[in-house]
Structure 1
Amino acid sequence: MQIDRPLLYAPQRWEWGGLDARFSTAAPADELVTNIHLAGFVGQRIVLCRDERYGWFLPGGTREPGESIGECVARELAEEAGARLTGELRWIGAHHCVSDRPAPYRPHQPHPEKAWLWCSADVEIVGDPSNPDDGEQVVEVRLAEVAEAQALLGAQTDWMPDLIALAVESRD
């Protein structure tokens, strides 16, 4: 466990997905990465999305069959934030997960082990979220100062402020 970020590095149970998760800065194998989320920076502010079901979140989501990490990030940014990458994608870390479900979430995904990758990059807002029918329905996109992003995301997930701190550090 990392002493300076004990909530982020603590073992977690994600009941909604039947997952035991543990954060690490060790790179997961590409074939284990099922989900990618991005701390997108516009200057010093972070792009946050809000939907009516889950509240505030970082844009990102589930990889489609044959999709690269970069392709997934680009698609999810457009769908959820109306944004596009303007800088290099920087890897922050990953939640290494083990599922107790009998089958993967989607047939093309690895099972029972998988990884959720967390990245950061410079982005720009170029339009409205495309909000596809099978995705989150984003009702607000906000460019938040770091402290505001930590507060909004931390209200739902206690380790998220630490992840945002790592995203900021990844820019140095």
Structure 2
Amino acid sequence: MTDTTDRAGELADLAARFPHLHAPQRWAWGGIDAQFSAELPPDELITNIHLVGFSDDKVVLCRDARGHWFLPGGTREAAESIESCLVRELREEAGARLAGPPVWIGAHRCVTDSPVPYRPWQPHPEKAWLWGWAEVTVDSEPTNPADGEQVVEVRAMTADEARRLLVRGRDEWWSELLTLAIESRARG
């Protein structure tokens, strides 16, 4: 069996095990059609980076002023590297820093029906949201820049509590994304 055949089999297995995560999605808030894959996109398509941060055996979530729980991450700035974006977003939203290298587990390939890109430097109409996990240390308050979400709480919690808070009022794929990150971490 070739490496390409092996990889295709792995991707098909992941899609079968995580059907909600891999299902086509419509993100109405942004006029975006999205499709998850464990196949990583080229760097130039990545506009957003999000992380399942692990502090010991707990998952770090952020809560904004609206009461919405989310994984830290956000939009890449012009000419910003993936690593720099991740470091900045962790500090801004979670008051956290990387305690180990990130492991990228997949991405949502997206197509927007908006006539212009979200930021002028972003690819358009195709883009990608990168998802990963890493060990993190929460060691300060979120910096809460004026143009970002206003985080009012950062909490390290059990995976079950994180699943419950991420899925509440949202699609089931959030739970599967968290499970995929936990399994990837367990494989080391």
- The count of residues paired between Structure 1 and Structure 2 equals 172
Map 1:40-59 onto structure 2 (within 5 A): 40-53=53-66, 55-59=68-72
Equivalent in 94, 116, 120 of residue 103 of structure 1: 116
Pair 1:6-2:19 in alignment: yes
Q: Give matches, 1:4-153, under 5 Å.
A: 4-53=17-66, 55-153=68-166
Find the residue that maps to 1:3 and give its secondary structure: helix
Give the TM-score normalised by the residue count of structure 1.
Answer: 0.97
Which stretch has the larger CA shift, 98-107 or 1-10?
A: 1-10
Runs of 4 or more above 3 Å deviation: none
Cα distance change of structure 1 residues 19 and 163 upon mapping to structure 2, 3 Å threshold:
same
Larger radius of gyration: 2
Q: CA shift at 1:6, angstroms? A: 1.1
The alpha-carbon deviation at position 52 of structure 1 amounts to: 2.1
Q: Alpha-carbon deviation of 1:54?
A: 5.9
Which stretches in structure 2 are left out of the alignment for 5+ residues? Answer: 1-11
TM-score (norm 2): 0.89
Cα distance in 2 between the residues matched to 1:109 and 1:170: 29
Of all paired residues, the percent bearing the same amino acid is 60
Task: Kindly state the Cα deviation for residue 13 of structure 1 after the two structures are TM-superposed.
Answer: 0.3
> Once superposed, what is the RMSD of the aligned Cα atoms?
1.0
Structure 1: segments with no counterpart, 5+ residues: none
Measured after TM superposition, the shift of residue 157 of structure 1 is 3.1
- CA offset digits 1:108-155 (Å, max 9, x no partner): 000010000001000001100000101000000010111111111011
